[in-house]
Amino acid sequence: MTVYVGFWPQTYALATPGHPWGARGAVSGLRLEALPSYSEAALARWDHLTRFTSDMAYFYHRVHLNGLLAAVVLDTTQAVVFGLRDGKPYSVAVLPASEVENDLWLAALSLFWTPDLGDRVHLYWDAVDTDLYPDFERYRLKWDNGLETGNPNVLLADAIGARNTSYVTAELVEDTTYTFGRSMLDRVGNESSLGAYLTKTIKQPPIEPDAVVATYNQTTRKVTITFDHPAGQHADCVGYAVYANEMPGWGALLDGLCAEPHMRLRLLDPQNGSWTSGRLYAGDWLFAVKGVDAGGLESDYTLIRLSLAIDGGDLVELPERPAAPTWIEARPLAGGTIKVTAYHDGTDATHIRIYQDGAQIYDTAVVAGAASYAHTTGALVDAQEYSFTARARNGATLSAESPTALAVADSSAPGGSNALSAELVF
C-alpha cells in the first residue's frame, strides 16, 4: 500500500478554555503504521508538543483524510484511519483543538433581553450552528445575583441543545441592577468565556388604573371605557394602553374572538381617562387598560368583559357570562334512574341547566345560599352508559360546560348514599 502523509499547516494558534493564548499546542512526527488485521486501514500516530497536566483542559485531535474529517479522539495521540485502498495516494492531517472554539463562537452570538415582563427578565440569544460546531452540548447562563458587582460568576441555568435559546428568570427584586452573561460548553465540560455582559435594572411597574368601567352605546354600537388615575402613580407614567381581544370595527375581516386582550389599540395621554372604540359586532369582547412608563413597562389590569348579541336586528348587550359549575356527579339508582348533582355557588347566575348526552333535561332557578342542584332522570336503558354536563346561565347567556360525569344505568342499584359514584372525565 502506498500512502503519502501530509501535515495540516499550523500557522496560527487559538486559545483553549482555561489556557493562555496559543496553548493549544502543535503536532509533530505524524506517521502511519500498518495494521495486520485490517487491509484497508492504518494507525496514525503523532506527537503533541504541549505536555498534559491535571489542571489543563481536555485536548481533542481532529484527523483528516484527504481533507475530510475522519476521526476525533480525546487525550490520545493515535487514531485508526479506515477506507484506504492499495495503490491510491492519501493525505492525512491532524489538528489539535479543544471542542469549544470560544473565540469564534462569541464573535457570532450575542445575549439580548425583552423589556415587557415587569419583574422578570426574558433572556434570549442566537443559536449555535451545529454544522460548524458538532461537539456543542449546552449554553450556560450566569449572573451576579443582583449584588451589584457587575461580575456574572454565579450559575443561573443551563440550556441544553442548540435550539434552546430562551430563558425567563424568576421574579427579581425591584430597583435592583442585575448583570448576566452566557457561555457555551461541549460534551466533556469545556467552557467558553462569557463574552459581552448584559445589565438590566428591574424597575417598579406603574400602578394599575382605578375604577375601570365599560359602557356600551346601542345606537352607535361603540363602547366607552373610563378609568381613574390611581393615587401614588409614578411620575414617569407616560400614558395608558388600551387592549382588546380583537380590533373593533374589523368584524368583516375576522372570524371569532381571541380569549385574551392581546392587541394594543391606543396609547392614551396620561391625563386622558376615557377611550371610545370603533363599531362593534356580536361576540364576547375583552378589554383592559394598563399604565405604561417611559421604559415600556406596564401595570397589571382588571379584565372588562362585554357580551353582545343580535336581537331583532339590534346589537344588544348581554349580562356578563357566569362561571361554569365547578363539579358534577352522576350515580345510578334503583329502577334504572340516575341522580345527577351539579355544584355552583350561584352568585353570578340565575339558573342551572343539566344536559344528558348533550340534550338539556333540567333547568332550575338559583336558590340563594345553595351550593348544589340535583336532578333524577326517568328510567333509562339498563346497562347503557350516559354522559352528563351542566351549565350556569344569566338570562340567555350560558357559561362554559362543567366537567363530564359518566354513569351506567342499573335497574338493580340500591337507592341512598351507598350507590356507586360515576367516573369524571375532564
Q: Residue 36 maps to which CATH number?
A: 2.60.40
Shared-domain flag, residues 335 and 368: yes
Shared-domain flag, residues 225 and 310: yes
Q: How many CB atoms lie within 10 A of CB 153?
A: 12
Closest CA to 416 of 336, 332, 311: 332
Closest CA to 3 of 95, 88, 78: 88
Give me the number of domains the chain comprises: 4
Shared-domain flag, residues 331 and 403: yes
Of 12-26, 54-68, 252-266, 327-341, least confident by mean pLDDT is 12-26
Cell of 40: 484497508
- Asked whether residue 76 is assigned to any structural domain, the reply reads yes
The predicted pLDDT at position 196 comes to 65
CA dist., res. 82 & res. 80, Å (int) = 6
The predicted pLDDT at position 259 comes to 56
Q: Which domain holds residue 60?
A: 27-98
The predicted pLDDT at position 24 comes to 47
- Asked whether residue 9 is assigned to any structural domain, the reply reads no
Facing residues of 353 across strands?
363, 391
Shared-domain flag, residues 230 and 258: yes
Q: Which one of 179, 202, 225 terminates a domain?
A: 202
Shared-domain flag, residues 257 and 308: yes
Shared-domain flag, residues 308 and 349: no
CA dist., res. 287 & res. 405, Å (int) = 34
Shared-domain flag, residues 193 and 238: no
The predicted pLDDT at position 60 comes to 64
Write the pLDDT tens digit of every residue in 157-184.
998 888 888 888 888 887 788 889 888 8
Residue owning grid cell 493525505: 91
Q: Which one of 202, 230, 245 terminates a domain?
A: 202
CA dist., res. 244 & res. 301, Å (int) = 12
The predicted pLDDT at position 421 comes to 39
Shared-domain flag, residues 107 and 94: no
Closest CA to 133 of 169, 112, 166, 161: 161
Which residues, other chains included, contact 78 with Cβ-Cβ below 8 Å and sequence gap of 6+?
43, 44, 45, 46
The predicted pLDDT at position 26 comes to 61
- Asked whether residue 78 is assigned to any structural domain, the reply reads yes
- At residue 288, what is the residue type? A
Shared-domain flag, residues 76 and 125: no
CATH code of the domain covering residue 129? 2.60.40.10
CA dist., res. 159 & res. 164, Å (int) = 6
- Asked whether residue 382 is assigned to any structural domain, the reply reads yes
pTM above 0.75, yes or no: no
Which residues, other chains included, contact 235 with Cβ-Cβ below 8 Å and sequence gap of 6+?
none
Shared-domain flag, residues 227 and 250: yes
Shared-domain flag, residues 90 and 157: no
Q: Which one of 202, 232, 253 terminates a domain?
A: 202
Is the pLDDT at 287 greater than 50, yes or no? yes
Shared-domain flag, residues 405 and 313: no
